Amino acid sequence: MHSDPKLTERLRRAADKSPLTERVMFGGVAFFLNSNMCCGIYHEFLILRIGEAQAEKALKKPHARPMDITGKPMRGWIMVAPEGCATKRQLERWIDKAITFVNNLPPKNTPASPPKKKK
């Protein structure tokens, strides 16, 4: 996934205050919790794993849409346009939703790739 550098840096700063680890994926970055992907960036969009129930609610909000980067929407995932995560508060609220959902998933035994150390 290709990532907007400014949004990537904002997401990194927000992730510093959380238990998320960063990994490079498909030319971009993704953030994991207990080896489960939690959030990331696709082009200029924030992508979030928030579960089907929360995604249904979130899709009623402006700037949120189903995560569809292959022609087939991924259930439980959403994409948020830049206008929907423009402020620090907006970004942190979205990340908190993803962390809350992913924190309730069973941890995976082995990560897909080694986590990148936080700077």
> Would you state the CATH architecture of domain 5-103?
Alpha-Beta Complex (3.90)
Predicted local confidence at residue 108, as pLDDT? 83
| DSSP line for 47-89 | EEE--HHHHHHHTTSTTEEE--SSSSPPTTEEEE-GGGG-SHH
112 pLDDT tier (thresholds 50, 70, 90): low
Predicted local confidence at residue 109, as pLDDT? 73
Task: Return d(Cα 67, Cα 52) in angstroms, integer.
Answer: 12
pLDDT in tens, 43-89: 899 999 999 999 999 999 999 999 998 889 999 999 999 999 999 99
Q: Where are the domains of the chain?
A: 5-103
Helix (H) or strand (E) holding 36: strand 36-42
Question: Which has more confidence, 9 or 1?
Answer: 9
Predicted local confidence at residue 78, as pLDDT? 97
Predicted local confidence at residue 119, as pLDDT? 52
- Contact at 8 Å (CB) between 23 and 111? yes
Helix (H, G, I), strand (E, B) or coil at 92: helix
Task: Return d(Cα 40, Cα 94) in angstroms, integer.
Answer: 11
Instruction: Tell me the average pLDDT across 1-15.
Output: 85
